[in-house]
Amino acid sequence: MPLSFATEGEENIIKQVGGKAEVRAHLENLGFVAGAAVKVITSMGGNIIVNIKDSRVAISREMAAKIMI
């Protein structure tokens, strides 16, 4: 399911990162790769803040929808 539906505080593993090549590359640079652990910290109307690779990244709803866990 897309990351946008993950429960807060729960740790998940990313299965796939979709989207255009540029977008995907950008996400991957930040650590969103298949197999990486990601945890949602807060969610605000679809926009979420996650903990990934020890850092905090905020992503918008559209982006979160392209990350499958």
Indicate the residue among 1 and 53 with the shorter CB distance to another protein: 53
Residue with tokens 């969610």: 43
How far is residue 47's CA from residue 42's CA, in Å, rounded to a whole number?
A: 9
Q: Does 1 bind another protein (CB under 8 A)?
A: no
Alpha helices in 1-69 (DSSP H): 21-30, 61-66
Residues 7-36 that bind another protein (CB under 8 A): 9, 11, 21-23, 25-31, 33-36
Which residues, in sequence order, are CB contacts of 45 under 8 Å at separation 6+?
Answer: 61
Q: Does 68 bind another protein (CB under 8 A)?
A: no
Q: For binding to another protein (CB under 8 A), which residues are involved?
A: 9, 11, 21-23, 25-31, 33-36, 41-47, 49, 51-63
